[in-house]
Amino acid sequence: MTAADLGGFTGLTGLTAGPAQAWGAVRLVPLLRAEPITDLRLHARLHPNELSVVDVSGATYTALVPHSFVADWTSDGKPAAAYGTQLVPPGRGAGCPDCVNLRFRRRMARREDRNRLRFLPLHLALEGYLALHFGGPGIAWEEWSAKAVAHGLSPREETVYAGADLAGLDDALRVFEIHPDQCGMVLYAADALAAAFVVPHPDDYRLLHPTLLLDMYSELLYQYTQLYPAVPDFRVRVDDTRITDVAGLRAELAEAAQEWRSFHHLMADGLLDAQGLRTREVYRMGRFTLSRFLPSFDPDVENHIGETVTDESGVLAYLKTFRLSTAQVRRGHLLSTLAEHDWHLDASAAALGTTRDELVRRLDRAGFGHLLREDIIAANRARHRRR
């Protein structure tokens, strides 16, 4: 499996944006699918409040995994039924409520049956980000520590927030109306694109709508919901002076719908028009393919990671995205630049338009100081303290 350049994110073909709903700092734009996908279905599997350790081929991925998605598909293309989420009484199989249980899982995506795959939503995408140049320096330059050369970036960690921590999201999901044809949504926090979520069928979306509270969001979106109490409610106005009959009314409504779709594309252009996305195939499921993607790590634009399921013609069946924070983009940019220049500090500093000393400082501030020799970091910190 090799990485491929997507060029731009065009996978929302077949989905149209419906009228947005706003609650506090949260704005949700429903995504409607005229022709539901019936031979691939998704349902949630809730897990107790436990810590999961996942085997990812030689490394260890540790995270709180509140739920997973289970994909069922049919080989003959006939419609498939979705399993509903089951609730159990408190204490039954959930372990002690005052402790965190430890559960071992095999791989981010694991086939459970011939036509059934269990995967961990967003953890699949986040693993791709954490694994970015995880092996560390390929050449033992003298600046890098022996541990960095031998073990790479291990351990590698990132902090995320649960949807329940985003102010107003729980109330918004409770009061927002779900459209009959809704197969997804685009979520904004203070009108900053937070996440996109797409499923194959409207019935799947109704079941999975509450799981947005269990998803992961970056520190950036958490701060936005805390700092911005409300967003304006955009309404498309219809010019009643141009309406003289039913045909005129239809024309005005069609124009208003097109204006809204154009406005939505403008708001979401950080994802829809992203350049340089790199995708990697994870698993084949009959005529469907589960993949994940990474951004270009351009510090001047939005950067989203995510995962998709597409059919053989490229039609999007499933999508879930995570917007990286400014600090996470900076770390990805630094690692990508180092890898492009074989982890040579002088060459990497020149590519970044800075000095070797400043690059060392940026690596230290980004949390990668432990990769360099202790004497280099200590001397760099001492120089900057004296200034």
CB 69 within 8 A of CB 119: yes
Mean pLDDT of 300-309: 92
The total number of residues shown for the chain amounts to 387
Residue 319 pLDDT: 93
Name, in order, each residue with C-beta under 8 angstroms of 105's C-beta and a sequence gap of 6 or more: 52, 53, 54, 55, 65, 120
Residue 1 has pLDDT above 50, yes or no: no
Sorting pLDDT into bands at 50, 70 and 90, what band is 102? very low
d(CA 101, CA 48): 8
Which amino acid is present at 43? H
Residue 230 pLDDT: 83
Q: How many Cβ atoms from other residues are within 10 Å of residue 339's Cβ?
A: 16
Q: How many Cβ atoms from other residues are within 10 Å of residue 269's Cβ?
A: 14
Three-state SS for 213-282 is HCCEECHHHHHHHHHCCCCCCCCCCCCHHHCCCHHHHHHHHHHHHHHHHHHHHHHCHHHHCCCCCEEEEE
d(CA 169, CA 192): 14
d(CA 295, CA 328): 12
CB 55 within 8 A of CB 29: no
Sorting pLDDT into bands at 50, 70 and 90, what band is 84? very low
Residue 86 pLDDT: 42
Model-level pTM? Answer: 0.78
Rounded CA Rg of the chain:
23
Report the C-alpha dihedral over residues 85, 87, 88, 93, rounded to 10 degrees: 50
Q: Which residues of 125-146 are buried (b: 16+ CB within 10 A; e: fewer)?
A: bbbbbbbbbeebbeeeeebbbe
Q: What value, to the nearest 5°, has the Cα angle with vertex 108 and ends 63 and 312?
A: 140
The torsion angles phi and psi of 70, rounded to 5 degrees, stand at -120, 120
- Please report how many Cα atoms fall inside a 13 Å half-sphere around the Cα of residue 273, on the Cβ side: 8
Mean pLDDT taken over the chain:
80
Q: List, for residues 133-191, the tens digit of each pLDDT value.
A: 989 998 989 999 999 999 889 888 888 898 888 888 999 999 999 999 999 999 998 88
Residue 11 pLDDT: 54
Mean pLDDT of 102-116: 64
Name, in order, each residue with C-beta under 8 angstroms of 352's C-beta and a sequence gap of 6 or more: 337, 359
Listing from the earlier edge strand, what are the strands of the sheet with 109-113? 40-46, 67-73, 116-119, 109-113
Percent of the chain predicted with pLDDT > 90: 35
The torsion angles phi and psi of 248, rounded to 5 degrees, stand at -65, -40
Which amino acid is present at 114? R
Give Cα separations from 366 to 31, 214, 217, 363 (angstroms).
37, 28, 20, 5
Residues facing residue 293 across a β-bridge: 279, 306
Q: What is the DSSP string of 104-167?
A: EEE-SEEEEETTEEEE-TTHHHHHHHHTTTTT--SS--TTB-HHHHHHTT-S-----EEGGGST
d(CA 196, CA 198): 7
Query: Where exactly are the structural domains of the chain?
Result: 4-89+99-136+159-236+254-287, 344-386
